[in-house]
């Protein structure tokens, strides 16, 4: 399988030597789980797209510091691309910003949450386990970093998992779109760097709680296997 990664942001330069760019994080996780995967990176923030949609087998949209409702031409271009992927029933995975952008592009709504920032490690729960799920525990731990949330899902969306802070945390549309609010590609060290950098924005209470949550480990490989099972179904 050839996976096209739609890159929507750049990692701060001082963090790249330790953690890589966002596509590198996905390549590290998914490539470790399935060494046969091929990856192609498209920097859509810079207007780079495949010449043909079928150039790759499936797509993944990364996270971003941008908000999907920002007035930026590249975001509207990406939404148009997502609508075409949906029309063609092309497999697509959205992560954080990607999760929110898919909802916004297809008729839902994303906005800043009145609950403030979600940071660190959170436990979310499946209310229904789809075929690509491992059918083990309904609860799972995932690193999060967001203030925006999907408050209205797009028509035809099934909400599969969430928690009290973020009800619409894992969503599926048909058999071709799967989105996560959390970041399976993050490692705890990167989560710590982001929280420390944004400490004043996040607020002291959320920051301290987020840092304390890092004593536990995210279930990154488990979530990575779900993503691969969905893409390969």
Assigned CATH class of 2-232: alpha beta
Supply the pLDDT for residue 53: 97
- Annotated domain spans of the chain: 2-232
| Maximum C-alpha span of the chain | 47
Supply the pLDDT for residue 221: 98
Supply the pLDDT for residue 65: 97
Return the DSSP state at 13.
Answer: T
d(CA 168, CA 157): 10
What would the two tokens of residue 184 be? 């399976």
Q: Angle between the 22-33 and 220-232 helix axes, to the nearest 10 degrees?
A: 80
With a cut of 50, which residues of the chain have pLDDT below it?
none
DSSP 174-204: TTTEEEESSBTT--HHHHHHHHHHTHHHH-H
Question: Of how many residues is the chain composed?
Answer: 233
Supply the pLDDT for residue 117: 97
Supply the pLDDT for residue 145: 98
Q: Which residues contact 14 (CB under 8 A, 6 or more apart)?
A: none
pTM: 0.97
Of 34, 160, 5, 175, nearest to 95 by C-alpha is 5
């Amino acid at each position: 399988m050839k996976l096209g990664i739609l890159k929507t942001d750049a990692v701060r330069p001082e963090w790249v030597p330790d953690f890589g760019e966002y596509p590198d994080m996905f390549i590290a996780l998914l490539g470790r789980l399935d060494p046969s995967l091929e990856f192609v990176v498209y920097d859509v923030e810079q207007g780079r797209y495949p010449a043909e949609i079928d150039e790759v087998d499936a797509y993944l949209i990364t996270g971003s510091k941008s908000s999907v409702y920002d007035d930026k031409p590249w975001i509207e271009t990406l939404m148009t691309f997502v609508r075409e992927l949906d029309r063609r029933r092309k497999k697509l995975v959205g992560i954080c910003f990607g999760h929110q952008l898919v909802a916004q592009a297809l008729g839902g709504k994303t906005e800043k949450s009145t609950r403030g920032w979600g940071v660190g490690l959170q436990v979310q729960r499946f209310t229904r386990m789809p075929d690509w799920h491992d059918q083990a525990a309904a609860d799972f731990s995932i690193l999060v970093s967001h203030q925006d949330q999907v408050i209205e899902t797009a028509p035809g969306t099934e909400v599969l998992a969430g928690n009290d802070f973020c009800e619409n945390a894992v969503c599926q549309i048909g058999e071709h779109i799967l989105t996560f609010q959390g970041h399976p590609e993050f490692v705890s060290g990167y989560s710590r760097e982001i929280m420390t950098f944004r400490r004043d924005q996040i607020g002291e209470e959320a920051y301290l709680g987020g840092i304390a949550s890092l004593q536990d480990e995210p279930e990154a490989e488990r979530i990575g296997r779900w993503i691969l099972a969905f893409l390969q179904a």
